[in-house]
Amino acid sequence: MNFIELLLESFNTLTLNKVRTGLAILGIVIGIGSVIALVSLGQATQTSIQNQIQSLGANLLTINPGAQRTGNVRTATSNTTLTEADATAIATSPQITTIASVSPEFSSRAQVTAGGNNGNISIVGATPAYLTIHKITMDTGVFIQDSDVSSIARVAVIGPQAAATLFPDGSSPLGQQIRITGQTFTIVGVTVTKGGSGFGSQDNIIFVPLSAAQKVLFGADHLTSVAMEAKSSDVMTAAQNEVGYFLLARHKITDPTKADFTIMSQADILSAASSTTGTFTTLLSGVAAISLLVGGIGIMNIMLVTVTERTREIGLRKALGAKKKTIITQFLTESIILTFTGGIIGIALGIFTSYIISVVSSSLFIVSPSSILLAFVVSAGIGILFGWYPAQRASSLQPIEALRYE
């Protein structure tokens, strides 16, 4: 039996029971589709987070109050050890030679209302330096001015996502009033969209003068962070060390391991985010792999049933001189056809599902070529692995016993 005859025979056999064949293929379709869709979701999430972090500003360093170690990354706690005086000292000290500008910041979330609309939005108390350090671009109006900070002015600059939440009718927010924690603020500017979604979105923010955030809205005398722009990417490490030792001396701390602050660069944040999202993607892939395993077991079960049903046929073939190799090849071919067909349909389903998820969630649409290649390899592997035992069992039947089988 040549290869073409083998394929035709396998197709004819599989189409004799279309429902059983369809159910066998369905397990592989779901498994492959799940792998591609979930890997795509993980990679899109990872890319989105990386883009958001990189959009925060070039050569960015961030000081957070308090520190705790998580693996190799030190993350901020809710300590209140960082003050505006620290930020001023960094900006004005002749000892600091690697920092171009400094932005003291206080951020929190609050319920914001405008007319009958409301939303829980991130509030950032900022100074004019925030605009340049975080690479914010104004769409209309102006950003927070020095005079606004010094006079504790009740003005606000709103991000486009926050504007869409509070003004869904599409009217211009400029000049309109909003209430933050019961206090009235007038919108003086709207920023250009930077992309991203969720709590970390740079578009779902309302900026107010730092003094207004601390004294009017949240009653705080500390900072939640200090953003700094290094003079160049070449001095990032030197800037971290320079500012770190400066703050240690200022806070009268002699042991660096007991620092009451954390300084993180873009590379640190990207590394931590990539590690987290990488673990997330691996977890999703593992869950999808279970579907593949179940699909493979389903194919093996169906092939075993097929062997039982075709026992007399196998006995007749062997009685007429069919070799063991021919019988094995026949059943392996049928198994591989099932898995390859399921794999192709699963790939199409996975890509389509990924696209639908990206449209519904307004996220990136990313399909990794490696995940598609993996799907083909896994399809072939499942066909061979789970088809081998039924094929081996069929080829081992004795012709006389097989012909007697009822």
pLDDT tens, position by position, 227-251: 998 888 788 888 889 999 999 999 9
Q: Determine, yes or no, domain membership for 300.
A: yes
Q: Is pLDDT of 298 > 60?
A: yes
Residue 297 tokens read as 């077991």
Identify whether the C-beta of residue 382 lies closer than 8 Å to the C-beta of residue 28. Answer: yes
Q: What is the mean pLDDT of residues 48-66?
A: 72
Amino acid at 1: M
Q: Determine, yes or no, domain membership for 65.
A: no
Whether residues 303 and 213 fall in one domain: no
Q: Is pLDDT of 214 > 90?
A: yes
Model confidence band, residue 217 (pLDDT cutoffs 50, 70, 90)? very high
Whether residues 107 and 251 fall in one domain: yes
Look at residues 259, 283, 313 and tell me which one is the last residue of a structural domain.
259
Q: What is the mean pLDDT of residues 333-337?
A: 80
Whether residues 334 and 252 fall in one domain: no
Model confidence band, residue 77 (pLDDT cutoffs 50, 70, 90)? very low
Of residues 130 and 373, more confidently modeled = 130
Whether residues 240 and 151 fall in one domain: yes
pLDDT tens, position by position, 149-195: 999 999 999 999 999 999 998 889 999 999 999 899 999 999 998 76
pLDDT score at 399: 66
Whether residues 217 and 278 fall in one domain: no
Domain count, the chain: 2
HEC per residue, 333-373: HHHHHHHHHHHHHHHHHHHHHHHHHHHHHCCCCCCCHHHHH
Three-state DSSP class for residue 205: strand
Residue 287's alpha-carbon distances to 42, 227, 242, 292, 355, in angstroms, are 13, 39, 46, 9, 20
Whether residues 197 and 252 fall in one domain: yes
- List own/partner pairs for 42-45 with CB under 8 A and 24 or more apart: 42/277, 42/280, 42/281, 42/282, 42/284, 42/285, 43/281, 43/366, 43/368, 44/354, 44/358, 44/363, 44/364, 44/365, 44/366, 45/277, 45/280, 45/281, 45/363
Model confidence band, residue 357 (pLDDT cutoffs 50, 70, 90)? confident
Q: What is the mean pLDDT of residues 120-141?
A: 92
Segments forming the whole domain that contains residue 176: 80-259
Whether residues 287 and 222 fall in one domain: no
Q: Determine, yes or no, domain membership for 254.
A: yes
pLDDT score at 71: 43
pLDDT score at 152: 95
Whether residues 106 and 184 fall in one domain: yes
